[in-house]
Amino acid sequence: MTGEQAPGPAACLFRGGLSVSRVELARKAPRPQQAAPYPVHECVFRGDLRRLSLLIRTHGMAHKDVHGNTPLHLAIMLGHKECAHLLLAHNAPVKMKNAQGWSPLAEAISYGDRQMVKALLRKLKQQSSEHVEEKRPRLLKALDELGNFYLELHWDFQSWVPLVSRMLPSDTCKIYKHGTNIRLDTTLIDFNDMRWQRGDMSFIFTGDLSPSLTVLDNEQKVFQRISHKESEMETEEEVDILMSSDIVSATMSTKSIGFMRTQTGWLFKEDKTERVGTFLADFYSISGLVLESRKRREHLTEEDIQRNKALMESISKGGNVIADPSFEPIRRESLPPPQPNTISWEEYISAEAGKAPHLGRELVCKESRKNFRATVAMSQEFPLSLEMMLNVLEIVAPFKHFNKLREFVQMKLPPGFPVKLDIPVFPTITATVTFQEFRTIDQLPPNMFKIPSNYHEDPNRFPDL
């Protein structure tokens, strides 16, 4: 083969008179099959319970697909009850939200299966309780190392909705901390976006021996020990409320948040620095906060919608919804299931990320975005660090508005301690929180963290705690 070049990699091979290039052979050769990127999700989507029971032992239940759905999300939206119950038995997370901001519980309410809503609600409370127990040793240690003090917080609620602002409550909370014990005195018993109730209440956390939470109604002279265990009747009533109310997803986007020093003066501008209580503080304006609110009501009847509208009108006129028997929850039956799913797994998983084909009942959804402008006053003089305050707020998190405060101050704030700040509590309601007074204390009356002897126990006094 003098003068001939050696055959290159793309040269032809001769087999039985047929000329086939190496490249063509490579294309036609069988390739090893790649494993599906979401095997658990695919099993759930196809309703393959047998294979799911095998995979569930070696795969995580919290894994999200390209659309942010966990396997439990898919099981609920597709109505694959056996898969959902198997996932729950293996402690699949109930609180996780998908790319649209919906949890498996929200999807179960939309689907309308009462027993599934109840199963998810129970698992959610169990997982929340386990999470608290996991954190308790660290929390008690942090409290024990923190000095003893007395602290006052003032809450002033406002709303951009006409008439509502006039009816919103204000409150001064008094917090006493000694060792691993905390007492909070407040006049705001219950508060959410639908109703509020005033009173004289004390919240006591004792961590000395066996940690416990107790709430005292100082007007009725009754107390309730806070437990994560609920009676069957309480659970059924909570399911009734969920199935007859809007499904709400309210999130606060902080992606483009910014802080700018607030200026004072007409001609000669200078940074605003004032005292908040006894603490000198630098004031900042907060920009880039966006409140994104979505409401779903595909599971509601026209009667439900009108009833909920009447509830809001009653609030705006100052009505006491808590005491109004006409707003008692009505026992809800399961809804007829939505139309069967006609989307294939391949269509679902290959869709553009975050734009999944809809599964389940046809959506009836209202969306709104509201830019939230706020101010925050940061003080370098405040004796508590932000981390210390977060530990205290974690104790009183059962109060919904305190949990909102804890979430807000976890943002990356300017230097110092936020002695005064505006926070969005609900889509239509904001609160100005002021840390008015702080002082260290050596001793407190020994009965400060004890239940008075003339109080009697009422396990149902505060059903929402």
CA 147 – CA 161 distance, rounded (Å) = 42
Q: What CATH number is attached to the domain comprising 85?
A: 1.25.40.20
Is there a single domain that holds both residue 151 and residue 118? no
Instruction: Tell me, yes or no, whether 15 lies in a domain.
Output: no
Neighbours of 111 (CB within 10 A): 23
3-state secondary structure of 457: strand
Residue 74 confidence (pLDDT) above 90? yes
Is there a single domain that holds both residue 155 and residue 100? no
Lowest mean pLDDT among 231-240, 314-323, 431-440: 314-323
CA 150 – CA 384 distance, rounded (Å) = 11
Give the angle 293-171-249 at the CA atoms, nearest 5°: 15
What are the two backbone dihedrals, phi and then psi, of residue 59, each rounded to the nearest 5 degrees? -120, 145
Instruction: Tell me, yes or no, whether 334 lies in a domain.
Output: no
Is there a single domain that holds both residue 401 and residue 429? yes
Which residues lie closer than 8 Å to 4 by C-beta, 6 or more apart?
none
Global pTM reads: 0.74
Instruction: Tell me, yes or no, whether 362 lies in a domain.
Output: no
Is there a single domain that holds both residue 204 and residue 273? yes
pLDDT band of 349, cuts 50, 70, 90: very high
Residue 29 confidence (pLDDT) above 80? no
3-state secondary structure of 245: coil
Instruction: Tell me, yes or no, whether 437 lies in a domain.
Output: yes
Buried b (16+ CB within 10 A) or exposed e, 138-171: ebbebbeebeebbbbbbbebbbeeeebeeebeeb
Task: Supply 281's token pair.
Answer: 């503080």
Is there a single domain that holds both residue 84 and residue 177? no
Bridge partners, residue 282, by sequence: 273, 378
Provide the number of structural domains found in the chain.
Answer: 2
Which H or E run includes 412? none
Is there a single domain that holds both residue 184 and residue 259? yes
Buried b (16+ CB within 10 A) or exposed e, 57-94: eebebeebbbbbbbbbbbbbbbbbbebbebbbeeebbb
Nearest to 186 by CA among 410, 414, 398: 398
Is there a single domain that holds both residue 279 and residue 413? yes
Higher-confidence position of 289 and 325: 289
Is there a single domain that holds both residue 162 and residue 272? yes
Is there a single domain that holds both residue 386 and residue 267? yes
Supply the DSSP string of 295-318, one letter for each residue: EE-TT--HHHHHHHHHHHHHHHTT
Give the range of the structural domain holding residue 193, as residue numbers without chain letter: 146-293+367-457
pLDDT band of 163, cuts 50, 70, 90: low
Please state, for a pLDDT cut of 70, what percent of the chain lies above it.
Answer: 80
- Average pLDDT value for residue range 210-231: 80
The pLDDT mean for the chain works out to 81
3-state helix, strand, coil in the chain (%, to 5): 30, 30, 40
